[in-house]
Amino acid sequence: MDSLLIRGGVPLYGDVQISGSKNSTLPIMAAALLTAEKCVIRRVPALSDVHFMASIIASLGAEVKVEPGCVTIQAAKIKPHGDYELIRKMRGSICILGPLLARLRRARVSLPGGCVIGTRPIDLHLKGMRELGAEIPIRNGYVCAVAKRLQGREIFMGGRSGPTVLGTDNVMMAATLAEGVTVIHSAACEPEVVDLANFLNAMGARITGAGSPTITIVGVKALHGVEWEVIPDRIEAATYAVAAAASGGEVNLLGARADHLSAVTDKLREAGVKVERNGAIINVKRGSRLKSVDVTTQPYAGFPTDVQAQMMALMCLVPGMSIITERIFESRFTHAAEMGRLGADISIEGPSAIIKGGKPLSGAPVMASDLRASAALVIAGLSARGETKVNRIYHLDRGYEDIDGKLRKLGARVERVPGE
């Protein structure tokens, strides 16, 4: 397996182009299953998760073409079940359930397993689709959904940890072709949900309220093909912003959406980082002295759980104590122990990590356990003295387009080492 060799201590300077959003692209690709016509999706990032989703959709019988920056899908004739192993491996693939149910009135997908950041249940997805009229027994590890008809309803989608992003997506997609009106209460408000709703509306759906906790979907008879450009990846942008602050340089984020990044930029400013918007460019520069801040992750528009690990890396470098509380996923602190190998002082107390920052970090071999944890280890490695080897970087390739190339362009000494 490839690893990333980082020789730290070099501030990042320059421009970085922000890619299309992974978390928008995956459900939008799934939504293309709702029509027999061709959908062309642009600004698609080159990521292994996108290739994975393309293979899953192809295994359902659709024609899928992946080109640089663009995916074309034509689901003229599809079947209700795809490759079990492929679907089981990628959690994001659960979002094919809603489109399959809407289009074919039946679907069979493997039950996604837990992952290192928590148990990741899908009870809310199933609850929403059952309320639309589907019967969904779980048999031998499969979610088997059947519906004679889908009937619009008022559905409450809030869970123990708040709304669900892919659950909202799934029910919204299923409801586009249901009879009557569906109202989703306690819907996720993430920009990726809005992007999906806009894509569906461009296909002929009638959705209002996306981006708010109440989404209304008036069912239509059929959807049609469309060309679409996904939104920029706010998590990738936030990762480079934090990396710029941590390394002590100055980076221009090109093509990022400042309005999607308010919680992150506000927290960075509180920590003393200079963040300025200049048209379509966000300039991020480390101030003369940074200070520690506390962070609590929340559903959008709160601080994203997907930037929690990166922020922890930054707080390790800042003198003082910082408390980072994770409210979305229960076990999302696996990076803390690995950062300890670099010399960070982090202790975990329930849902909170207590970081005593300002101790000098020095390079070490570390092992990434999930996507954002890997990004955090890269940020820590860029700021540490000496050499850090981040092993198992396939996680990074799932979610960061050309991360080593982009970092090198910013002046980082980063090298991809092919695995044995």
Q: Which residues are catalytic?
A: 115
The two most distant CA atoms of the chain are separated, in Å, by: 64
Site for ligand UD1 in 366-395 (CB under 6 A): none
If one asks whether residue 160 binds ligand UD1 (CB under 6 A), the answer comes out as yes
Cβ contact 150:124 at 8 Å? no
Binding span for ligand UD1 by CB under 6 A among 160-168, 172-180, 196-204, 389-397: 160-168
Cβ contact 375:369 at 8 Å? no
- Of 92 and 249, which has the nearer Cβ to ligand UD1? 92
Q: Minimal distance in Å, beta carbon 252 to ligand UD1?
A: 25
If one asks whether residue 118 binds ligand UD1 (CB under 6 A), the answer comes out as yes
Cβ contact 32:62 at 8 Å? yes
Cα(328)–Cα(163) distance, integer angstroms: 10
Q: Which two tokens stand for residue 164?
A: 């669900």
Binding span for ligand UD1 by CB under 6 A among 116-124, 178-186, 218-226, 251-259: 116-124
Q: Minimal distance in Å, beta carbon 55 to ligand UD1?
A: 16
Contact string 236-275 vs ligand UD1 (x = CB under 6 A): ----------------------------------------
If one asks whether residue 331 binds ligand UD1 (CB under 6 A), the answer comes out as no
What three-state secondary structure class fits 207? strand
Cα(292)–Cα(313) distance, integer angstroms: 12
Q: Pick one of 9, 69, 121, 204: the residue that binds ligand UD1 (CB under 6 A).
A: 121
Please state the φ and ψ torsions of residue 21, each to the nearest 5 degrees.
Answer: -75, 125
**Alpha carbon distances (Å) from 304 to 27, 324, 376, 416:** 19, 12, 14, 28
- Of 112 and 225, which has the nearer Cβ to ligand UD1? 112
Binding span for ligand UD1 by CB under 6 A among 37-45, 115-123, 207-215, 411-419: 115-123
CA quadruple 99, 101, 105, 106: dihedral positive or negative? Answer: positive
Binding span for ligand UD1 by CB under 6 A among 10-18, 145-153, 154-162, 178-186: 154-162
Q: Minimal distance in Å, beta carbon 160 to ligand UD1?
A: 6
If one asks whether residue 166 binds ligand UD1 (CB under 6 A), the answer comes out as yes
Site for ligand UD1 in 188-227 (CB under 6 A): 188, 192
If one asks whether residue 25 binds ligand UD1 (CB under 6 A), the answer comes out as no
If one asks whether residue 69 binds ligand UD1 (CB under 6 A), the answer comes out as no
Binding span for ligand UD1 by CB under 6 A among 34-42, 161-169, 197-205, 376-384: 161-169
Q: Pick one of 82, 167, 225, 357: the residue that binds ligand UD1 (CB under 6 A).
A: 167
Q: Which residue has the tokens 């359930």?
A: 97
If one asks whether residue 161 binds ligand UD1 (CB under 6 A), the answer comes out as yes
Cβ contact 404:381 at 8 Å? no
Please state the φ and ψ torsions of residue 34, each to the nearest 5 degrees.
Answer: -75, -10
Q: What does R_g of the chain's alpha carbons equal in angstroms?
A: 21
If one asks whether residue 164 binds ligand UD1 (CB under 6 A), the answer comes out as yes
Length of the chain: 420
Contact string 84-113 vs ligand UD1 (x = CB under 6 A): --------x---------------------
Which of 51, 32, 148, 41 lies closest to 98, judged by CA?
A: 32
- Of 193 and 361, which has the nearer Cβ to ligand UD1? 193
The letter for the amino acid at 245 is A
**For 313-386, where are the E strands, in sequence order?**
320-325, 345-349, 352-357, 365-367
CA quadruple 390, 394, 395, 399: dihedral positive or negative? Answer: positive
**Alpha carbon distances (Å) from 88 to 111, 142, 328:** 7, 10, 22
Residues that bind ligand UD1 (CB under 6 A): 23, 26, 92, 118, 120-125, 159-161, 164-167, 188, 192, 305-306, 328-329
